[in-house]
Amino acid sequence: MTFSSLHTLNVGTSFIPLDVVTLCIRQCTDTLTTLDIAGEYLSFEVVQDVLRTIAGRPLRNLNIGVTCLSPQLVDLLAEHLPVLTKLSLRIRAVSADRHEPPMFIGASLMQKQSQVERFRRDGHPRVWGVPGGRVKVYLQAAVLSSVVDILHDSLETEGRFPE
């Protein structure tokens, strides 16, 4: 069974296994223009699986939570979603390289400032170098105000922060 007229899919991952979510996505990929995956923060590998499922489809809006934002993740999104016009990301942490795990201060949920700064310095041109500014990027960090502040300042300075 497929949903041949479905354009928007909002699905939660809190109580539904990710393989079931992927199966739901497969049932409507030909017409899907908006995908909102709420609930769990997704790893790079899970995002990769979801993107393989919807690659080459007319998806224009994507709203997901990711465990770690990296330049490689943005490259992956750009590669698989060439007609994307709106990207909303809920992020738990950032890293200049997807193979470098996020580091936090003690038992707190605050990411180490040095790692955030390295992401800003090393990942910035690839992450925010959107040709023609055709994709609006919205970020929301989970209890990582320093990440949001740094990214907001960076984007605002360059005139690319979404309105």
Question: Is residue 127 scored above 50 in pLDDT?
Answer: no
Residue 149 lies in a domain: yes
User: Distance between CA 39 and CA 17 in Å, rounded?
Assistant: 11
For residue 27, give the nearest of 9, 40, 39, 44 by alpha carbon: 9
Q: How confident is the model at residue 130 (pLDDT cuts 50, 70, 90)?
A: very low
Residue 61 lies in a domain: yes
Residue 17 lies in a domain: yes
pLDDT, tens only, 59-100: 889 999 999 888 888 888 888 888 888 888 888 888 888 888
User: Distance between CA 73 and CA 98 in Å, rounded?
Assistant: 7
Contact 89, 76 (CB under 8 A): no
Residue in the block written with tokens 């919205």: 138
Question: Is residue 128 scored above 80 in pLDDT?
Answer: no
How high is the pLDDT of residue 96?
83
Question: Is residue 35 scored above 90 in pLDDT?
Answer: yes
User: Distance between CA 136 and CA 64 in Å, rounded?
Assistant: 14
Residue 2 lies in a domain: no
Residue 98 lies in a domain: yes
pLDDT, tens only, 42-60: 999 999 999 998 887 888 8
Residue 3 lies in a domain: no
Q: How confident is the model at residue 137 (pLDDT cuts 50, 70, 90)?
A: low
Contact 29, 1 (CB under 8 A): no
pLDDT, tens only, 85-95: 888 888 888 88
Burial label for 56, CB within 10 Å (0-12, 13-18, 19+), is exposed
- Whichever domain contains 26, its CATH number is 3.80.10
For residue 35, give the nearest of 96, 80, 97, 68 by alpha carbon: 80
Domain range for residue 122?
Answer: 8-157
Task: Please give the backbone phi and psi of residue 38, each rounded to the nearest 5 degrees, phi first.
Answer: -105, 165
Residue 148 lies in a domain: yes
Residue 27 lies in a domain: yes
pTM: 0.73
**Count of the separate structural domains present in the chain:** 1
